[in-house]
Structure formats: C-alpha cells, structure tokens
Structure 1
C-alpha cells in the first residue's frame, strides 16, 4: 500500500510552489502528537524570520526518518532529485576538501527540508556569497554539571557587558535546550580561525570576571558546576541550532530569539515550542529582525587575544576530528596525561 501523500501550497518570492509531503501524519514528537504536517505548517508560518536568520548561508539538516526517538543523521550536500529552488554553495571543510552544501533561500525550500524529515536546522555563521568569512560572532553558553538554564541566564548580562566593551552589539536566543546562544553581527573581514580566537578572548574575559560561575575549560572533568563558553562552536563547519529551528527534544522546543528585557524578567525556554512560536511572532514580532543592520568589528577582541598570548595564555584544544592545529596543546584528557606521566 502506497504511503499517504499530500501537497502543500507554499507562498514565496517567486509565487506559490507546490511541495509534496509524504507520511504527513507521522508523529515526529510522539509525546506532543506533533506530526510531519504540523512541522511543515510551522515552517511556512515562521518562514520570514526563519529565513532572515538562516537563509542564504550553508546549512546542515539534522534528519529523523522515524521521529525524534529514532535514528538521526546529517545532510550537508544537495541530494539527487532536489528541486531547483533548493540551492547550494561550495564550502571548504577543515580537511581542505571542497564540496557543495545546501542553502535555503525561500519558504518552499524549508518545507522540502521537512519532507526530507529534517527537524533541526544548523546554519553556518557565514553567507553563501563568502563562505570563508563569518558575518556573526556566536557564543554558546552551555550549562555544565549542576548548572542549568537559570545559571546561563544569570551569566548572560555580564557577557553582554564584555561584548559591548569590545564594541559589539549582542543578541540573545534560547538554545532550545538548557543553554543560551549570544550572537553579534560582524563585518565579514576575518576567517573562521580569527573569529574563534575572538570568541576565546571573550570567554577568557568573562571567566576572569565570573571565575566561580564561568569556565573555558575544554575537558569536562575540569569544568565543575559552571557555565561553559563553548569556543569550539565558532570553528568552521561547527554550527548551532538556528533561530526558530525546532529541537529534537520532548515537547518540540524551539531555539527562540528573545529580548534582553525578557531574559532579565525571566523566561521558560520550554514554553517556546513548535505550537507556540507562530502566535508569539504574530503578537510580539521577531526580536532579531534588525540583527544584521549594524555589524561590528572584532579588532578589539583580537587585541585581547594577542594580549592573552603575551601573558602566556595560548591556543585551546580543537575538536577531535580536526587536523592538528598550530600552537594547539595536546589533545589528552588532563587526568589521563597525569596518569601517563
């Protein structure tokens, strides 16, 4: 018996497009009863702010053929048979290999991604026009140990102050999980490694100001109950869930842009879901609508990075799948290194 299939009419900049959707009643979030069709309709409803934040840039699709409780895998390259409104840009990966990567530029492309069982969208920090130079400095505040969202929220205002001291304007969103993401629009003048160093400089300064609450320690055994500034999320081909992207977690939470005033007043990240966000956008609007309008520069942060180098603070570890990088310390867990000695 053939699987059920429907066709959705998706408005867009080039007029309406008809996009097929197979198995529309499949529950992607069984705990919430949210189906593949529900997700497709969500993507249509939020397509404006979603594409403002995530469009026209390389994106990885995190796909779940059997719902969030089943197998997951990532798609980066345009598959055979993709419609012509699904675009691509050639990117360079850390290995030096170059390959086309998906780019979403209109609402129909996001619905096609749902047809491909995408739940989470992971956009690059650079645009398709120049994939080597980020247009955003991104900071992931990741609660570790006994810390949680409230701890990240308590740290975020000081992070905002650090970034403003460096001449940047920060914008905040929930991660859709326990943490917070803070983005700063930047001029595309530097490559990913420079932006990573700028993020490390931010993390170290925040750690100096809040040593009992913040850490830049890469190894989990050294972090304790502190909020980790995940500097490695700034690397090339490392991504965070995009603004308005659902997450593959119970309740169908969404990584949601918020205002600093909302964060200060207190927000419940679990309240931002596939079901609630369309109404939020209709009533509150998009807090990130003007994010890209006033990009800053990372020159001051790179001066901080150079000052830390002069003070003896060197490079930090890269992810294990990266090639060995210049100046990088040994990729050995500290307790293991002591044992080996």
Structure 2
C-alpha cells in the first residue's frame, strides 16, 4: 500500500490554518491590556513591601566578647532588685538600730532609733546628750566629751513601746532632743508633749555670759509655764557646775555638782538624790549620795564609805 504524502507547502499551510482557529494563550508574565478594565495590583509582589516583610529564615548575629559581657550585665541589672534609699535625717546619713529590755510579753520594752554613721561631737552646752552604747546595748545620757570609738551619737526618729504599745516618740539631732516629743499611756492617751530645739526646750529660759550668746550660763526648762525638763548651769570658764531634772515644777532624781576645773572637764564633786517623781511630796533637803575629792576619788558613799576626814593619798582620777 502506498502512503499518501502531501507536498511541503501544503503541510505548512495546514498548520497555520489550525493555529488561527485555536484560543489565544495569555502568559502570566504579560501585561494586561490598558484598553480594558484596570486590574488592581498585588501589593505582596511589590518591591516596597517585600523588602519590609520579615524573613522566615533566621539570621545568626555575631557578637564580640565585650558585647556579650555588656548584654549579660544589662540582663543582670534588669533582674537585680532596686537598692534601698539611704536613710538621711537633717542632711546626715543615719543607721537604724533597736534595743530590748524588761523581759517578754507585756513587760517587754523596745526602743527603735537611729544614729549618725559619721561621728560628730554634740553641743557641749546642751542640757542633755544621748548616745547608744553598742557593747551594753542601751541608750545612755552622756557626760563630757564622747568617745566616737565607743558610742554612737543618736540622730533621727525615736520610738519606745511597752508590751507592743507606743509610749514615747520623738527625734534626736546630733545627740540632743529635737522637735516634738510625746509620751502616752498604754491606752494611747497623750500624757506629755514637749518641743525642743537642738536639746533646749523651746520655752526654756536661757542666759549667757557674753553678749554674742555663745557661752551659756544657765538653762532653766519651762513647759506650759511650769519647770519641766533638764536643767544645767555652767561656770564662766565653760565648765559644768550643776545639772539635774525638773518634773511638775520639782527637782527629781540625781542632781550633780561639779568641781568646775578648767583642765578637768565635768569632774564630779557631789551627787544629791531628790524624789523619784514630781508628783510625790517635794523633797526640800536632798540626800547626799556620793562625794569625790578634787582628784576625782570617791571619798563618801551613803551607808558604805566615808573617808572625808582622811588624807588624800590616791592618784588623780582614781576611783574606788
């Protein structure tokens, strides 16, 4: 059988006619006709958006050792608790402390107070100066110059409680009572209120030896027109002559008389005892409790010792 063969030019013509009858094919890369309806562009394929889109491939960042160290320090600083504010009172840095006494329960007495971190000598003319004795763990009234190696000068808020009840509040300033001091009973009833200015009662009668009012002669404490508080008197050379305490207009407790030597500050001569409180009958004639000679040696103690008629053979400053 003989195959039917078409001439070459007829084959080409046939192929062209078939192509003309088929549907038009549109390429995805071709641009739409501008003559028809405008198509909205796909913003996901624009260069502007694709450059801002986050990459799904993690990029590894290389840090130097210094940068790693700085990052760790920053992380630690963020986790570290904020430092407590420094305790400051009247411009001075202070430290908090407390002492307990009187047993437990209702009889327990707690004193909460502050003292100077940097030692300062209190005003020598102040009627009373208070310090904390860390060794004996108690607050004491100081006499003479204070040894900064042994004692801490009180400075800041003070509070005393008994059996959990507040019985006294106030402030110290460089070892002296300052601002308002109040006392309460256990039913929280106010008993007394006194105002101080760096150790001196606000209503005290203060006299001076000099016109510039720098050398104190006598401090007579008054509260609401009545004698109340610490009394002091100085010699003209600046040495202490007398000190004691008034309550309810009466002398109470121990009153001290000093020799007043210029080269021996606050050397005791006599100690007298008055009543315990100002609400008891007034003691007009105090009891002599102790006596010291000019060298500071104890020569008399009530019901214990009496060497006042003997020659002084003791060394200066020596006590029994």
Q: Normalised by the size of structure 2, how large is the TM-score?
A: 0.24
Q: Normalised by the size of structure 1, how large is the TM-score?
A: 0.23
Higher helix share: 1
Higher strand share: 2
* Higher Rg of the two aligned structures: 2
Q: Which has the higher contact order (CA 8 A, sep 6+)?
A: 1
